[in-house]
Amino acid sequence: MKKIILYAVTASICSIYACNKEDARKEDKPFEPIVLTAKQAEKVSADNRFSFKMFKEVSEENTFFSPFSLNMALGMLYNGTSGDTRTEMAEALGMAGLTEAEINEYYQKISQALLKIDPLTDMSIANSIWYRSGFPVKKPFIDLNKNYFDAEVRDLDFNRNDAADIINKWCAEKTKDRIKGIIASPIPDEIVMYLINALYFKSQWQFQFDKAYTKQEDFATAGNPTTVNMMTQTSNLPYYSDQYLQCVEIPYGNQAFSMVAILPAHDSSIDQLIEYLDYTVWENIVKNMHEQNVWLKLPRFKIECDIPLNDPVINAGMQLIFDKDLADLSNISDVHLFVSNIKQKTFVEVNEEGTEAAAVTVIGFGSTSSGGGNMSIPFFANRPFLYLIKEKSTGAILFIGRMDEPKE
């Protein structure tokens, strides 16, 4: 029987630029925290648990991963599930105590709130559904994604020579040309649908990195030290340390968004830090960070990653969606579907101007018919470290990365 492939693509992009040293602290209106219901706050906690669990699964040298992108993709997929497949996804994603409406309202609320929380941040979130002309997609599935994910819905003749170009143009426009060429041309005959989420983020550092102070320094690696361009600044920043790690939070814009850099203890490795760091440890860090005068060194770097996610998602508790016989995605179509592939491609660049990051998550579906004082605390990221980009009031994690060897 001929196989049909259905793809769900989630593209997320983050882009952040620096401000001048004299403007280190902006006098703009402070951000107003995002107000969530008790159940929505529990969902954020569940998302962050899932984030750390997934990062342990995908972590390799210089991995950069977007749990937010994957979560958005799985959230859209959830609307197409039924029966045991839906129950399994709900348990794995921390949604077991929520109704379908509450789940969709959560994704709608977090998306809309993130767009408004920082006027200094240029951020956009766009969703779309593209399906092959004539493919039978169920109206409730379409309506849920239109109503809660604000998805644009287009049917398209995938046999057109420019079909892939049309979809790629939409992706490029929504991400200001940062994500290009997601869809290969020509579109194979087996492809029947694409679900696409595009996230764009651009903001200024609240504290600058002055290029004049960037110097070449050694960065310790697993092998021989490598020479990197090391940025530096001294600022009052949220800081935490214990016997296992030290971390510093570097804010963007009006402080709604930030990057948290985490160094393992000197007698520990980056892999030991990743094994130690889970949601409980993370919550303790967030609660106990306090402002200190920090002498910060951070290398410039640029990374691209291709991350296979089938096994990590299965290990996270979602097996039925991959089962050719037992997967129940009947809320998408009467044509029997199962998830055949999940992968993510990411990009990040950190320099004096700021941070630029992008993530694309692809879900493919198969079908068979048939410290205080004036002393600065040193935080020198001159050896392997972790870094996260998050929103402050909800704690939502957008990206997690590990830096083993900075490369430009």
- Confirm if 131 and 167 have CB atoms less than 8 A apart: no
Q: What is the distance of C-alpha 396 from the center of its chain?
A: 10
| Mean per-residue pLDDT, 185-196 | 78
Find out whether 360 and 182 touch, Cβ atoms under 8 Å: yes
Provide the phi-psi class of 214: left if phi over 0, else alpha when psi is between -120 and 50, else beta. Answer: beta
Q: How far apart are CA 403 and CA 226, in angstroms?
A: 13
Sheet with 3-17, edge to edge strand ranges: 151-156, 122-132, 191-204, 3-17, 354-368, 338-351, 301-308
**What's the average model confidence in pLDDT over 205-232?**
90
- The per-residue DSSP string of 316-373 comes to TT--GGG-TTT---TTT-SS--EEEEEEEEEEEEEETTEEEEEEEEEEEEEEE----S
pLDDT in tens, 142-177: 999 899 988 888 898 989 999 889 988 888 888 878
Kindly indicate the confidence band of residue 8, based on its pLDDT and cuts at 50, 70 and 90: low
Identify the pLDDT of residue 224. 83
Cβ neighbours around 14 below 10 Å, total:
28
Euclidean distance between CA atoms 158 and 131, whole angstroms: 8
Note the pLDDT of residue 144.
Answer: 96
Domains and CATH numbers, the chain: 3-204+302-368 (3.30.497.10), 211-300+380-403 (2.30.39.10)
Please give the Cα distance from 393 to 231 (Å, whole number): 28
pLDDT of amino acid 12:
52
pLDDT at 28: 53
User: Where residue 10 falls among pLDDT bands split at 50, 70, 90?
Assistant: low
Angle at 249 (CA atoms; ends 244, 252), nearest 5 degrees: 160
Q: What is the pLDDT of residue 369?
A: 52
Residue 335 above 80 pLDDT?
yes
pLDDT band for position 370 (50/70/90)? Answer: very low
Percent of the chain with pLDDT over 90: 49
Return mean pLDDT, the chain: 85
Q: What percentage of the chain reaches a pLDDT higher than 70?
A: 90
| Strand, helix or coil for residue 230 | strand
- For range 45-74, the mean pLDDT: 92
Please check the confidence at residue 290 and state whether its pLDDT lies above 90: yes
What residues does 399 pair with on adjacent strands?
389
- Write the DSSP symbol of residue 58: H
The predicted-structure confidence for 92-151, as pLDDT tens digits, reads as follows 999 998 999 999 999 999 999 998 998 988 888 888 888 888 878 899 999 998 999 888
Whether the pLDDT of residue 19 is over 60: the answer is no
Q: How far is CA 338 from CA 6, 9, 92, in A?
A: 9, 15, 17
Range with lowest mean pLDDT among 197-211, 236-250, 275-289, 339-353 = 339-353
Is residue 6 over pLDDT 60?
Answer: no
Top-confidence residue, 195 or 56 = 56
Residues 338-361 pLDDT 10s: 877 777 778 878 777 778 888 877
Q: Give tens-digit pLDDT for 27-50.
A: 456 789 999 999 999 999 999 999
- pLDDT reported for residue 381: 94
Instruction: Please say if the pLDDT value at position 13 is more than 60.
Output: no
pLDDT for 23: 42
In the structure, what pLDDT confidence band is assigned to residue 16 with cuts at 50, 70 and 90?
very low
The H or E element containing residue 251 is strand 245-251
Range name among 223-237, 247-261, 322-336, 372-386 with the lowest pLDDT average? 372-386
Least confident segment among 267-281, 287-301, 313-327, 368-382: 368-382
- Return the pLDDT at 27: 44
